[in-house]
Amino acid sequence: MKLTSYARREIGSSSIPNLVLTDQGYIGFSSPNDELEKAINALQGQEATNDIANLPKVKAGTILEPAILKLFHDELKMICAEQGKLPLDISVPDKAYFYEVDGGKIGSSLDADMHLDKTLNLIDHSKSSHSLNGKGVIEIKNYSGAASDDVSEIYKLQVQAQLLTTGYNYAILVRLVKGWELQWFVYKPNKEIQDKLINAAVEFWHRVDGIMQGDKLHYAAANTKEASRIFKGNGSKDVINFNKNNELPQLIDDYLSADKAIKASKKIQDTVSIRMKEILGEHEKAECQGYMINHSTYERAKTKTIKVEGAAPTVTRRFTIKDMNG
């Protein structure tokens, strides 16, 4: 059940990381402008159309959450018993938690929380040792990446938002890797990160209110497609003269130069790939000085919306080059 809502001027802990500018830029699963659009649509009473909760992978994770939580609960209970630190109380709260900011709120709904009456010494998957007591957040992830992968910065921001809204002492991010390896990582409240989250939320609600009042307060566009969504056309076919604009001529030249470079690069790539195919001839795989060259043949069933029975398959060839040392 969704316990936080843009319609109530609440930005959830899984959404606010998309607004935090890091050293690598914005690293969220959606852009800040996507979040602006969702908030404005919700406040105007429009139904959400791009909610990631409807994605198959996210749905699967939601279904698996109780099973992953049970696996973690069983393992942690054994650790508590070994240290004589029982009872261990883990539950799924049926309410949301909020932190008030200027213009709105930061909200979070937890996968689970836990309470320890006695201090527990816990070593997490990163081999870090932690002393835990009192109340903590549990965040569950169903992970399909490598077991050696670090926790995504997005998830680290998410648990800090959860710690901010709850005021709890610690967070444990639990992930099940590829369906069998259970890992957990412990995080304590980090004031520097939480201040970034607060500032991002204040700026976000300021932009939401400004845009709804007609001001141009979008974030910088993430790409040219997003820019077209932000700067909507007025429907007029009249030609407007921008000859006096000092920046536009250079931008036009840069754009056309880049376009020419792309076309020239494609032409070079075509020329050299033709020659390589001539050299390989009928051979579909070749190794050369650390590179694997593939010119594979494969068949694809002829289809429209369904497979066309009795139709000859389409035979195509795929050409790739892979650095075997890279």
Contact present, 39 and 6 (Cβ < 8 Å): yes
Q: Is 39 helix (H, G, I), strand (E, B) or coil?
A: helix
Please tell me the distance from the alpha carbon of residue 43 to that of residue 213, in angstroms, as a whole number. Answer: 13
Helix (H, G, I), strand (E, B), or coil: what is residue 84?
coil
- Least Cα distance to 29 among 63, 53, 5 occurs for 53
Distance CA 49, CA 46 (A): 9
Distance CA 122, CA 169 (A): 14
The string of DSSP codes covering 149-186 is PPPPHHHHHHHHHHHHHH--SEEEEEEEETTTEEEEEE
pTM here is 0.79
Give the pairing of strands 170-177 and 129-143: parallel
- Residue 62 CA to chain centroid, in angstroms? 16
Give Cα separations from 325 to 116, 294, 314 (angstroms): 49, 16, 34
Assigned token pair, 139: 């965040």
What token pair was written down for 80? 């508590």
Q: What strands, in cross-sheet order, belong to the sheet with 104-108?
A: 10-12, 104-108, 97-101
As a whole number of angstroms, the distance between CA 307 and CA 314 comes to 12
**Measured distance CA(294)–CA(322) in Å, rounded:** 8
Token pair belonging to 87: 């009872």
> Tokens 């030609």 — which residue?
239
In tens digits, the chain (326 residues) has pLDDT values of 456 689 999 999 999 999 998 777 888 889 999 999 999 999 998 876 656 666 677 777 788 899 999 999 999 999 999 999 988 999 999 999 999 999 999 999 999 999 999 999 999 999 999 999 999 999 999 998 999 999 999 999 999 999 999 999 999 999 999 989 999 999 999 999 999 999 999 999 999 999 999 999 999 999 999 999 898 888 898 999 999 999 999 999 999 999 999 999 999 999 999 999 999 999 999 999 999 999 988 776 655 455 556 667 777 777 777 887 86
Element counts in the chain: helices (H) and strands (E): 6, 13
102's tokens: 């200027």
- Using CA atoms, how far residue 229 sits from 15, 209, 215, 222, 233, in Å, is 20, 19, 16, 11, 9
The whole-angstrom distance between residue 297's C-alpha and the CA centroid of its chain comes to 35
